[in-house]
Chain A
Amino acid sequence: MRNRKIIGALVILVMAFSSCLKLPNPTEEKPTTPVKFGEIKTDPNFNWTTTRIVDIEVLGLSTRTPIYNTFKLSTKDKASVFYQGKHAMSENIALKITIPAVLDSVLMEFGSIQKTYSVANSKVTIDYIINYPEEE
């Protein structure tokens, strides 16, 4: 009987103290900041470039007459042009553009038509349609 009490007390003590132990939390683990280049660890697929490639799909708009103009992709301030070429408005176009990895949007121009697209994803679908509010 006395042994049972002792064992019971020990179990309680162990449980109490074990609850105070700080167990390693995987989410708190951070990679050690290397002090030398040679200590850097990266994923095998990391490409070490400051640019990225975005797939552009342009959905042509059927028109009553052939409409040609310059299709252009650039930064919003138009300072950096990533693609430009002459295309029919009805043409479906597939492009790959290389943009700075820091860029989050591109401006599409086709003549007077301008639309801004997010390039957060690696594939962007572009069209010439402007969504007009249905006012009455």
Chain B
Amino acid sequence: MKKIVSILALIACAIQINAQSVTLECETSSSPISSGGSRDAADRRNYDIANCWGFGGVTYTNISPLSGSFSTQSGSATNLNPTSFWIKSPWFKPGSGNITLKTKLSSSSGSSRYLRLAYIPYDANASYKEGTRVDFYTHTFTINTSVVNISEAIPSAIANSGQPYKIIALMFGSGGSSRIMTDSWNIPGTYWADPSNSCYPLALIADADSDGVADDDDAYPNDATKAYNNFFPAAGYGTLMFEDLWPATGDYDFNDLVLDYRYNLITNADNKVVEMDGSVVTRAIGASFRNGFAFQMNGIAPNKIVSTTGPKYHGASWLNNAANGTENGQTYANIIVFDDAQKVLPSPGGSGTNVIPANGRVAPDTTNLVITFVTTSGQELQLSDFDLNPYIIVNQIRGKEVHLPNGVPSTLNNPEWFGTFQDDSKPNEGKYYKTKNNLPWALSIDSSIPYTHTTSDLIDAYLRFADWAQSNGTLYTDWYVNNPGYRDTNKLFIP
């Protein structure tokens, strides 16, 4: 049965301790660095608006404030229409006692000036949920600049009613130019507005699993252990493309292994990562090597993983996993997604798979992973802990890994390959899997893109890639998008 659970109990508890009155002091700035002058006044007004106070034709001023450094001031109150200038409190549940505030005129100019107090009941069907205003007090100013301390009882009709109300101060008058200033508001009652919900009254939220995340925001509304999906890429799939002749350079067709990927880091209501769902789509193999595919979770110890399901293994002799699915002997958690691409995506005949159109096409293969993480208090992982580092294991040689440029190798990588052939990795400088000219053996694109026919140079297919790379990523950042003039589709394998 779907429960309607409230966060109000928690909130009300806090309110009883902290907030038995609603106040307006005009002193708190919304800006961490106050600039001074009128901007400073505007920052304070904006802060109070963010906390659900409302102002009609009323600004803040630091000229002759009633208390502290700033007060409110109306425009010149020369109109007897009472709604010309107003200050409206947030929604609150009235207590008992007196509403107090300080007020004065900015000058002795004018024929008449008034400050009227009224309350506004909640009306679910009305604009802004505000019902019909009820006036209950009017102060008539003597035309001078003396400070007046107003103290008026909350009307018995609303005191301790348990219902939400607003208090509104209306400022009006005739003649002259003086403004009406106020400060140091104190309204007995319980603050009952939600600044994150258009300042409407705090309300029950539908939260079926009682995890504190509203069902509307909860991707798992009936599972208290999960709340949010965090996908990467945020939309669609990304593409990984590898050259596998490392440490020698190859033909730069970047199709020796082509994969699409997307993963979802699922967090709970405390923003801790409880599960990772990954999808790896093996699209093409433009090589004869029997390569494996894996990823390292940089910085995450293997014992942070509880279980792993979904990898595809075909009896590789070097496979050596722990019970939780991570590879043994590693400093950080490494997940072998599959041990042999040739078994995952067998060739239909001829050379390679899905790289020569004449050879026919094999449907891409999807490997779905589910990895669960520790949820012990103090041991949990956060989104910021995740830095995934994909790589291939070349031709069943476990120590021969090829990562994205500067991808840190796993503990089981054999460092003796570094610096041989065209590789210019320099572990002591943090340089990995790049040539002397900083060219990579693998690329990651955050969109799913077509890959090249076998032996077609990548820059012959993606016509803006070279401009992008040579500009160090400042030009043609969208080189992979299918814009006019960006691709030579004759060089791309497009089913």
Query: Taking beta carbons and an 8 Å cutoff, which residues of A are in contact with B?
Result: 31, 33-38, 40-51, 59, 61-70, 74-75, 79-87, 89, 95-96, 98-102, 110-113, 127-132, 134-136
Contact = CB atoms under 8 A, between A and B. Distances in A.
A59 B32 contact: yes
B157 interface: no
Given A48-B405, A49-B444, A70-B214, A61 B51 contact: yes
A113 to B, nearest CB: 6
Contacts of A33: 466-467, 470
Contacts of A37: 252, 439, 457-459, 466
B470 A40 contact: yes
Contacts of B28: 62
Contacts of B469: 40, 42, 46, 48
Contacts of A44: 431, 438
B477 A42 contact: no
Contact of B51 (A42, A43, A64): A64
Given A61-B51, A96-B384, A129-B47, A84 B230 contact: yes
A129 B412 CA distance: 51
A102 to B, nearest CB: 5
B271 interface: yes
Nearest to B46: A129
Given A42-B469, A80-B235, 13 more contacts: A36-B459, A42-B470, A61-B50, A80-B233, A83-B230, A84-B229, A85-B267, A86-B212, A98-B232, A102-B478, A129-B43, A129-B47, A134-B59
Interface string B225-236: 001111111110
A87 B30 CA distance: 19
A102 B439 CA distance: 22
Contact of B50 (A98, A128, A135): A128
Interface in B4-21: 7, 10-11, 14-15, 18-19
B473 interface: yes
Contacts of B405: 47-48
B396 interface: no
A38 B472 CA distance: 16
Contacts of B51: 61, 63-64
B470 A31 contact: yes
Interface in B232-252: 232-235, 249, 252
B474 to A, nearest CB: 10
Interface string B443-479: 1111100000000011100000011011011000110
Interface of B: 7, 10-11, 14-15, 18-19, 22, 28, 30-32, 42-43, 45-47, 49-51, 57, 59, 74-75, 90, 191, 194-198, 202, 212-214, 217, 227-235, 249, 252, 267, 269-271, 383-384, 404-406, 431, 437-440, 443-447, 457-459, 466-467, 469-470, 472-473, 477-478, 480-481
Contacts, number: 181
A54 to B, nearest CB: 13
Given A80-B234, A101-B473, A41 B383 contact: no
A30 to B, nearest CB: 10
A100 B445 CA distance: 9
A97 to B, nearest CB: 9
Nearest to A101: B477
Given A31-B470, A67-B194, A111-B197, A127 B445 contact: no
B50 A130 contact: yes
A38 B470 contact: no
Nearest to B22: A64
A65 to B, nearest CB: 5
Contact of B470 (A41, A87, A95, A102): A41
A125 B2 CA distance: 39
B214 A66 contact: no
Contacts of A38: 249, 252, 439
A84 B30 contact: no
B143 to A, nearest CB: 21
Nearest to B384: A96
